[in-house]
A and B are shown apart, each in its own frame.
Chain A
Amino acid sequence: MKALLILLALPAILLPTACLLYILYQALPALNWSLIAGSDTANISNMSSAGQALWHQISGSLLLMMLANILAAPLALSMAFFHALIASRQQKMILMTFLQVLQGIPPIVYGLCGLILLVHLLHWGISLATGAVILAIIILPLLSSNIIHALERIPAEQTEAAAALGMSKAAIVLRVWFPLAWTSMLTGLVLAMARSLSETAPILFTATVFSGIAWPDSLFSPVTSLQTHIFYLAQEGSNAQAIHVAWASAAVLLALVLLFSLTALFLRRYKESS
């Protein structure tokens, strides 16, 4: 029985690890500092955004991620506090079901909505703002759930002790809930950042272009991003150099997502140890 369980459990670790190792194996020959930061990309200029290095795609991805989280975080906090302070038991049940359903919606559907409503109807165009709004909508249910769960982990006795001292709800939130839950909430935010870095489909036709953009002029200018860059390069199947750069881009993207996931893990450990 034990051997069977191990046999069934192993693929869950081995398969992603094999993928990861293969990506690194393919990426390493092309991965160097000049590809990320700079100047030595003339030979692949037709593939990596007209002579730009990956730095522009990295900054575009980070910009989209940050804006999406700046938009989503206050809304998610408000929803979590509504859930904790105001909602009845029935409203809480409806809200949690709704958030779970929203998390299950394929991101491409949000991308399509963004294309029709924001790009065409509101004339925002393919832009940083459109992409950030769509990404914010996608991560909102995840971020809200994370913050709700962070608040639910606060011992009820602490809240009751504060209320018994005559503290107002605002004071309880600021002086009891935030100090107890900030690491959990931050962990949720970092996980949402990692999620927004992973999304490709919704920004493919709402925010990004393949090349020609070093830094967006305004919120309503398009950007380049690592995710969509990999997609564009992978379509150049006959160009070996382009494929090498695609592998290198994938490795950089993985490193970024890993960085955020490990930060979340560190915060969780810090919370548990304190």
Chain B
Amino acid sequence: MRLAPSIPNHSPPISETNKPEKVCIEVHKLSLQLSGKPILHDVSFTIPSLGITSLIGPSGAGKSSLLRCLNRLYDDWKGNISMNNTPIKKWHGGADVLRQFVGLIAQKPSVFPVSIAENVTFGLPRQQRQQNQDELIQSCLKQAALWNEVKDRLHTPANTLSLGQQQRLCLARALALKPAILLLDEPTSSLDPLSKELIECSITKLAISMPIICVTHDLDQAARLQGQVVFMCDGKVIETGESHAFFTQPKRIETREFLRWSVCECAED
């Protein structure tokens, strides 16, 4: 049993100038119930304006639900979520416009039954879809580390791709909307090691220019991605901290127990 996961060195280090400084997302006393069952209780934390924030915790901790509150796929919550000091409930243009600003990649890749190229532009408004978007498609597929594998078959159905390629296509599709924030819900949990590495590389590159929140069960991955770690259990935030310090010197006993056993045993305060 190890206390801290190993930290490999393949991810590009975030330079000093790119280090998170400005607060971008602020979650304050967020509570959520789904079908009468409490999911989140008084969750409060802040997400830096750049870099990766890994949300870790046991199953049922409320991590994925929290992501879906951030882009208002779950909209019936109490408390406040602000992005650049604007409460997202009062977002100009409503939830649909907010979701173009906040991209979400789900755990299971879900491509639409159209071609690879059409999948990339699927979320664009009609006028933009009708224009030539070859450059955008190429740029997004490159950012998602998929271009080299699909450049010769952009017009073949997207469901002919492997699972790992489909997940990278979902990333490219989200990037085509030029989001300011990316939410990733266990994006590599069902993928092979190579696909996992390619996606992690893309994420770390993207994190240089935007905040990324990544739910993961893989503590090694959270350490590899660096940045901030938020540990959740039973719908509450137990501890937050910078990745290295979090894994080497956890402050809370629950965190230490989780890291030791990867099992949450939330002790009552």
Give the B-binding residues of A (Cβ under 8 A). 89, 155, 157-158, 160-168, 175-176, 179-180
Contact = CB atoms under 8 A, between A and B. Distances in A.
Helix, strand, loop or mixed for chain A's interface? helix
B177 interface: yes
A176 to B, nearest CB: 7
Interface size class of B (residues with CB under 8 A): 20 to 34
A28 B211 CA distance: 77
A180 B110 CA distance: 13
Contacts of B108: 157
B99 A164 contact: yes
A179 B96 contact: no
Given A158-B112, A179-B113, A180-B113, A164 B106 contact: yes
B71 A164 contact: yes
B73 A164 contact: yes
11 contacts: A157-B108, A163-B73, A163-B99, A164-B106, A164-B174, A165-B174, A166-B97, A166-B99, A166-B100, A176-B112, A179-B113
B170 interface: yes
Given A157-B110, A158-B110, A164 B96 contact: no
Interface in B97-125: 97-100, 103-104, 106, 108, 110, 112-113, 122-123
Nearest to A168: B96
Contacts of A180: 113
B113 A165 contact: no
A165 B106 contact: no
B73 A165 contact: no
A153 to B, nearest CB: 14
B168 interface: no
A180 B159 CA distance: 13
B177 A160 contact: no
B19 to A, nearest CB: 29
Nearest to A163: B73
Contacts of B112: 158, 161-162, 176
A164 B35 contact: no
Interface of B: 35, 71, 73, 96-100, 103-104, 106, 108, 110, 112-113, 122-123, 170, 173-174, 177
Contact of A155 (B71, B100, B110, B177): B110
A160, A162, A163, A165: residue with the most chain B Cβ atoms closer than 10 Å: A165
Contacts of B110: 155, 157-158, 160-161
Contacts of B73: 160, 163-164
B122 to A, nearest CB: 7
A162 B174 CA distance: 10
Contacts of A160: 73, 106, 110
Contacts of A179: 113
Contacts of A164: 71, 73, 99, 103-104, 106, 174
A163 B95 CA distance: 9
Contact of A89 (B35, B71, B97, B173): B35
Contacts of B123: 162, 165-167
- Which of B73, B103, B123, B170 has the most CB atoms of chain A within a 10 A radius of its CB? B123
B97 A157 contact: no
A90 to B, nearest CB: 11
A166 B104 contact: no
Given A158-B112, A164-B106, 4 more contacts: A161-B112, A164-B73, A164-B103, A168-B96
B76 to A, nearest CB: 11
B99 A165 contact: yes
Contacts of A155: 110
Contact of B173 (A163, A165, A175, A176): A165
A165 B35 contact: no
A157 B108 CA distance: 8
A132 to B, nearest CB: 36
A128 B34 CA distance: 50
A161 B170 contact: yes
Contacts of B98: 166
Nearest to B96: A166
Contacts of A163: 73, 99
Contacts of A167: 96, 123
A176 B108 CA distance: 17
B161 to A, nearest CB: 15
Nearest to B170: A161
A158 B35 CA distance: 22
Contacts of B106: 157, 160-161, 164
A164 B173 CA distance: 11
Given A89-B35, A157-B106, A161-B170, A166 B113 contact: no
